[in-house]
Amino acid sequence: MCITKSCNGISRERGRGAFLEFPNSRNPESPPLHGFTLVELLVVITIIGILIALLLPAVQAAREAARRVQCSNNLKQLGLALHNHVNALGAFPGLGAAPPTSFSILARILPYVEQRSLNDLIDFDKPLMSGGGGGSSVHPAQVVAAQSSISMFLCPSDAGPARFASVMNFSGGDYLSGGTNYVSCGGSGTGFNYDLRYPSDGMFWSDSAVEFRDLSDGTNCTIMMSESVRGCDYDSYGPQPAETDRQMASMCGQFSWNANGPGLSGLENPDLASVVAGANYWRGMRGGAWIWGREPITTFSAYMPPNTPVPDLHAKGTGFFAARSRHPGGVNVVFADGSTRFIDETIEMEVWRALSTRGGGEMTGRE
């Protein structure tokens, strides 16, 4: 008998001869082979890719739904803060005597959104801006507060800048201003109601002090605040930009103030699409400073529908600024009764404008 030398138990004695037996050989006593062919592997990869493609939109939709709810909750808190302001001081806040240098509605309600410490950093006895007629730089007493960023003032669906370098000038330092998505309602914007230096048909204007008794349309039919898309934090020249919700047409050179009343000459109920077609200067300042009561930054009117593709129009510190969002299909609003609602961007203009007025006597059908 021939005996072979065992190597890890593979070689063994068989009859009169010996041979090497390798693992996974065709020997019937060896375990069978298992694996994928290339075709099978490609099929599996394809199936996984299809499943991911089907699931991804659902995941994104669920995330956006959560973000929209968070945005609505932010507005809910702002609405409650405005009610607390009325309880404490007897009226809703106003924009201040001079919008170019005044504090915003958001700045006025800081104590009621758990921001008492930030409120204490603001000296309301001094102007927000100092310098020329338009306010050339932030007053030294307001610098620290103006830099602060507040998460409640930001919509989670908007990926735009949360702090802005180009909106406010901080003399003596290179600072950023805290941005916001939430804007107060100046009214319908029809006629000359877009000029908030004068009383408008909405809830907020310069030195306004609206009380609940002034809301003859009903608190559940009067919008207090909505949202807008934050600007891009830079200006540009040339044709209409790709992101018209992040840049507004600046047409200060094309218009002048009416001599003896509100508004700009030639801008009473305009066709805005035709007007902004002649613009060649675009500003990215929208929502660039939560603290500032300037109309282009922290107010809106219902002259244009929510999420309109027509750019906002800015001239002489006033103009037409729409409610906008990055939520598909519409915008969130908070009414004077404190309730929030998602307004579809296809809402009829008559109804949208009626909801923006405090005492127009319109029938909106909202109960």
Show the tokens assigned to 58: 């659902």
Q: How confident is the model at residue 7 (pLDDT cuts 50, 70, 90)?
A: very low
From 122-131, 205-214, 245-254, the region with the lowest mean pLDDT: 122-131
Strand, coil or helix: what is 116? helix
pLDDT of residue 8: 46
Element (DSSP H or E) covering residue 64 = helix 38-89
From 26-35, 268-277, 278-287, 302-311, the region with the lowest mean pLDDT: 26-35
The answer to whether residue 363 is domain-embedded is: no
d(CA 38, CA 233): 52
Contact at 8 Å (CB) between 291 and 118? no
How many structural domains is the chain composed of? 2
Contact at 8 Å (CB) between 290 and 145? no
d(CA 228, CA 324): 4
Predicted confidence (pLDDT) per residue in 156-179, tens digit: 999 999 999 999 999 878 899 999
Q: Name the residue range of residue 25's domain.
A: 1-34
- The residue behind tokens 């190597």 is 7
pLDDT of residue 231: 97
Percent of the chain with pLDDT over 90: 74
Closest CA to 320 of 226, 178, 162, 196: 196
Q: How confident is the model at residue 33 (pLDDT cuts 50, 70, 90)?
A: low
Closest CA to 359 of 183, 185, 187, 184: 187
| C-alpha dist (Å) from residue 317 to 75, 208, 246 | 26, 18, 17
The answer to whether residue 47 is domain-embedded is: no
Residue 115 and residue 13 share a domain: no
Tell me the sheet residues that pair with 103.
292
pLDDT of residue 26: 53
Residue 109 and residue 19 share a domain: no
Predicted confidence (pLDDT) per residue in 315-355, tens digit: 999 999 999 999 999 999 999 999 999 999 999 999 999 99
The answer to whether residue 8 is domain-embedded is: yes
The answer to whether residue 308 is domain-embedded is: yes
d(CA 207, CA 64): 37
* Radius of gyration in angstroms for the set of CA atoms belonging to the chain, rounded to a whole number: 31
* Residue type (1 letter), 56: L
The answer to whether residue 85 is domain-embedded is: yes
Residue 127 and residue 207 share a domain: yes
Q: For the residues 182-189, what does the mean pLDDT come to?
A: 98
The answer to whether residue 362 is domain-embedded is: no
pLDDT of residue 32: 62
Q: How confident is the model at residue 64 (pLDDT cuts 50, 70, 90)?
A: confident
Q: How confident is the model at residue 2 (pLDDT cuts 50, 70, 90)?
A: very low
pLDDT of residue 141: 93
The answer to whether residue 94 is domain-embedded is: yes
Residue 7 and residue 142 share a domain: no
Q: In sequence order, what are the residues at sequence separation of 6 or more whose Cβ sits closer than 8 angstroms to the Cβ of residue 33?
A: 24
Residue 71 and residue 20 share a domain: no
d(CA 334, CA 287): 18
d(CA 201, CA 203): 7
pLDDT of residue 189: 97
Residue 162 and residue 62 share a domain: yes
Residue 322 and residue 183 share a domain: yes
Contact at 8 Å (CB) between 148 and 162? no
Tell me the sheet residues that pair with 138.
129
Percent of the chain with pLDDT over 70: 87
Residue ranges of E strands in 68-222? 129-130, 137-138, 163-164, 177-178, 182-185
Residue 174 and residue 93 share a domain: yes
Residue 66 and residue 127 share a domain: yes
Closest CA to 300 of 225, 209, 191: 225
pLDDT of residue 362: 76
Residue 86 and residue 30 share a domain: no
Residue 24 and residue 164 share a domain: no
Residue 60 and residue 1 share a domain: no
d(CA 198, CA 262): 7
Contact at 8 Å (CB) between 223 and 366? no
The answer to whether residue 316 is domain-embedded is: yes
pLDDT of residue 34: 63
